[in-house]
Structure 1
């Protein structure tokens, strides 16, 4: 794997939500997609926990798996990327959080997915993982569902009970036009909204309701091309300062890093 960086673009982009598919050369393809889009770095979590057709059906009808994601593959790919790929641990609430605690220093954050593992945000097993994330100084990424225990209201309760942990609301809520989700999290400064998936109007509303410091650009690559999601922010009316906050500065803050924009330029 050969990291590709240039100094062509003065505005580096950090994509806060991409996945590493369990297929050959997945990291190389991901880096190429980032290069095509002008994305310098990306937060990576395991993908391919189940076929997309099954995941889609489970989202509607219910269902889950109890197997682990391939966190080691994510760690290895990120370690070989020259710092461009930032590893997150995909938690399995059906397991004791001990392994995550033991390996937390090798990762930079945590993902919990009720859609994949079927364990709600109101479950004690989820609370135990969040507590471990707090001990490690990690943020917690999750995608909510319109299902008891996994709604945005449930995330609000979880985040209110762990005010020292930063939470990231994946896809800005449930579906493509969840303005209500932004209202629900509005009073919780420890909840940020990640932009992949939602319509441009939701990103525009997030900017108005939450402010630029609580928005994180994400693409859901490789399922969605980062260039498409970046264009959405442009068309949503993000000005230069807002753009820099959403696509770089906020992610650096959540990761506990200095901005270091001179070291990371978008590939050209």
Structure 2
């Protein structure tokens, strides 16, 4: 694919990496090798990208996180550590019952893991898919609050806004909601995720997978300082993701904020040197 030309500095806050060449059981997309992601970012004119491992239920993420950090060296990647939790989202009685009897397993993220990631200069934040990874317990959440690094939280129909606010979004660290309008999210739910920006102060919305043009335009018009560009690579080619933003009916200043300025304010390591 030809390189995309545009006049913006673009940073990407959502790219999944497969450091060991393994794909995910939940997707048919080929493994996102570091070389592939770097090549596609270059084609799209993206100068830096937040990268993290994909979901692997009932597995420890320590090895995958270390692999991402190792493969990010001398590449324009900013590593985020994926974490998981012992609790389920309490969207119904089943979730509440599971939490009443849940017990920490060896593969669950511990407070010590979070502390180590937070003070390791290879990692600059965290990522969590609560519908798959679960929700951290209070001890882990307290360590996340102490670290105060950004946490990318995936939204979906299985992880709706009403279930995310109390356990994850209003906790003293910047929360970046991802996939809030993705393929598995209906239009009313996409607007509900956008409403989070009004309800929660330190909450942001990233654009990966958001298929509803009116949601993106509303987000940039109503909350121009809270929208961050995410490509969603490798599920979407970065060129396609950027074009979807470039064709929105908003001013260049708002596009510039979404492509770079907002992310640089939330994630220090994305700032220009």
Report the TM-score range of the alignment, normalised by the length of the smaller protein. Answer: 0.7 to 0.9
Q: What is the Cα deviation at residue 212 of structure 1?
A: 1.1
Instruction: Using structure 1 for the length normalisation, give the TM-score.
Output: 0.77
Residue aligning to 1:80? 74
**Conservation of the 8 A alpha-carbon contact between 1:109 and 1:133:** no
2: CA distance between counterparts of 1:10 and 1:181?
30
- Paired residue for 2:48, among 33, 41, 48? 41
2:203 maps to which residue?
191
Alignment of 1:211-222 (within 5 A): 211-222=223-234
Compute the RMSD of aligned alpha carbons.
2.3
| Equivalent residue for 1:114, pick from 120, 130, 148 | 130
Mean CA deviation greater in 21-30 or 224-233: 21-30
Instruction: Provide the rounded CA distance (Å) in 1 between the counterparts of 2:141 and 2:174.
Output: 10
Tell me, in whole angstroms, the C-alpha distance in 1 between the residues paired with 2:242 and 2:173: 27
Instruction: Please state whether the residue corresponding to 2:239 is helix, strand or coil.
Output: helix
- 1:129 is aligned, of 134, 140, 151, to 140
The residue number in structure 1 matching 2:12 is: 15
Structure with bigger RCO (C-alpha 8 Å, 6+ apart):
1
Of residues 215, 228, 231 in structure 2, which corresponds to 1:202?
Answer: 215
For each residue in 1:81-119, what CA deviation from the matched residue of structure 2 results, as whole angstroms up to 9, or x when unmatched? Answer: 1xx1000000022232312212322310011112322x2
Equivalent residue number for residue 185 of structure 2: 175
Structure 1 CA distance for aligned equivalents of residues 66 and 269 of structure 2: 23
1:103–1:230 CA distance, 2 compared to 1 (3 A): same
Contact 1:92 1:112 in 2 (8 A): yes
Matching residue of 1:96 = 110
Structure-to-structure mapping, 1:136-155, within 5 angstroms:
136-147=147-158, 150-155=159-164
Kept in 1: contact 2:14–2:231 (CA 8 A):
yes
Query: Retained in 1: the 8 A contact 2:124–2:269?
Result: no
Q: Mind listing any 5+ residue stretches in structure 1 that lack a counterpart?
A: 1-7, 51-64, 264-268
Contact persistence 2:197–2:226 (CA under 8 A): no
Does 2:60 align with 1:68?
yes
1:258 Cα offset (Å): 7.6
Provide runs of 4+ in structure 1 moved above 3 Å: 126-130, 158-161
Q: Kindly tell me: are residues 160 and 85 of structure 1, through their superposed partners in 2, closer, same or farther at Cα, counting changes over 3 Å?
A: closer
Contact kept, 8 Å, 2:51 with 2:68, in 1: the verdict is yes
Q: Residues of 2 paired with 1:255 and 1:136: CA distance?
A: 13
Q: How many residues align?
A: 228
1: CA distance, partners of 2:227 / 2:46: 17
